[in-house]
Amino acid sequence: MTMLPYGRQSITEDDIKAVTEILRGDWLTTGPAVAAFEAAISKVSGGHRAVTATSGSAALHMAYAAAGVSTGDRVITTPMTFIATAAMASVLGATIDFADVEEDTALIDPNAVDALIDDRTKIIAAVDYAGHPADYDRLNSSAARAGALVLDDAAHSIGSTYKGRPVGDLADLTTFSFFPTKNMTTGEGGAVVAKENALAQRAHEFHFIGLIRDAERFRLTTEGPWHQEVHEFGMNYRLTDIACALGLSQLSRLNAFKDRRSKITARYTRALADVDGIRLPVQRDHVDVIRHLYPIRILDDRRRQIFERMRADGIGVQVNYMPVYWHPVYADAGYQRGMCPNAESFYAEELSLPIYPDLTDSEVDRVVDALIRALH
């Protein structure tokens, strides 16, 4: 039997056609498909300006750079994430304060944030783990009191809502990833959404090598019509028209992806409700979730055993995530184990079951059977 992955892309003939049309056209990059994809992302993100990027990690780098994160600043984030959420602030010179997560949702705990925040805090970076938005009302009011910004790492949650508002409209800055295992894909890719246009413009310039092309802002005024100039360093994080055309086509199916993910969720939840030795993911009443991960918890110290048994049975389960500060790069900088006990016990038990739009009902049943066998 083939190994079921824990996540994968869903590609149609329409996606393929969208890409080949670009290859036959004039613009492979910096063209109209980029503008059209950015407008479409903006539309699902509360209408705020979107800037595309070559990855979710690049988008995080752009967002932190746009906010002016630099040496001496502090960024509060969750350890229950992919390392890029913290690393992209670290590479800009910031010091990371890891706030523990809520015991049940594994989302950043606003009380833990309040215990860490002070006037050096530049950003609170939340992660919508598994697609479930964090508690933005609490995080935004804490940030406002401290003069900080809120960033939503929404690599898992494009299409989710919180109290009726879409992801993209919940924080000052929102970042997406379009890696193939995420909710929609451009191969590699990502985007930043910013509520304030000045932040979006700075993110745009950072991803465009820092080039300024607006004559009104030039400091060198004696050059010719070819002139462009740089005031602050940037990177080349531009997403191609090829990738953006795929993204536009994928985004048109976001609702269908969300619907299939919630049907898979319901099927797992029904089948596993009475199984001993596990805990199922929880969801707050005020959110509507695109379920990116289906993270169950394996009790009685058996996570590794169940992981290995399921892998041997052809089920590509995954673990999301080792607490970020356990990575040697942070441990070497003095971060100690034990710092965020809820995140550490969540990590000890967590197992992500396969979930992606093309996963069939009978494949879901195969995962359930394999899990029950593994637990016996």
Ligand X SMILES: *Cc1c(COP(=O)(O)O)cnc(C)c1O
Residue that is written with structure tokens 């199916």 in the block: 253
Residues 279, 103 contacting (CB under 8 angstroms): no
φ, ψ for residue 50, nearest 5 deg:
-115, 145
Residue 307's region, left for phi above 0, alpha for psi from -120 to 50, else beta, is: alpha
**Cα 295–chain centre separation:** 16
User: Coil, helix or strand for 73?
Assistant: coil
Residues 247, 188 contacting (CB under 8 angstroms): no
Shortest distance (Å) from residue 85 CB to ligand X: 5
* Dist CA 208 CA 49 (whole Å): 16
Cβ closest to ligand X, residue 208 vs residue 321: 321
Sequence-separated (6 or more) residues with CB below 8 Å from residue 338: 344
Tell me which residue of 306, 315, 298 sits closest to 354, measured CA to CA: 315
Shortest distance (Å) from residue 128 CB to ligand X: 8
Shortest distance (Å) from residue 6 CB to ligand X: 12
Cβ closest to ligand X, residue 174 vs residue 177: 177
Cβ closest to ligand X, residue 38 vs residue 153: 153
Cα dihedral 14, 15, 19, 25 sign? positive
Cβ closest to ligand X, residue 57 vs residue 140: 57
Residue nearest to ligand X (CB): 56
Cβ closest to ligand X, residue 78 vs residue 342: 78
CB atoms < 10 A from the CB of 144, how many? 11
Cα dihedral 214, 196, 154, 86 sign? positive
Cβ closest to ligand X, residue 22 vs residue 84: 84
CB atoms < 10 A from the CB of 224, how many? 5
Active site residue: 17, 163, 182, 258, which one? 182
Shortest distance (Å) from residue 156 CB to ligand X: 6
Tell me which residue of 185, 190, 216, 215 sits closest to 203, measured CA to CA: 190
- The answer to whether residue 263 is catalytic is no
Residues 60, 84 contacting (CB under 8 angstroms): yes
Residue that is written with structure tokens 């996540």 in the block: 7
Contacts with ligand X, residue ranges (CB under 6 A): 55-57, 81-82, 84-85, 127, 153, 155-156, 177, 179, 190
- Helix, strand and coil content of the chain, in percent to the nearest 5, comes to 40, 15, 45
Shortest distance (Å) from residue 293 CB to ligand X: 9
Shortest distance (Å) from residue 55 CB to ligand X: 3
In single-letter form, the type of residue at position 168 comes to G
φ, ψ for residue 134, nearest 5 deg:
-70, 180
Shortest distance (Å) from residue 60 CB to ligand X: 6
Q: Which amino acids are annotated catalytic?
A: 182
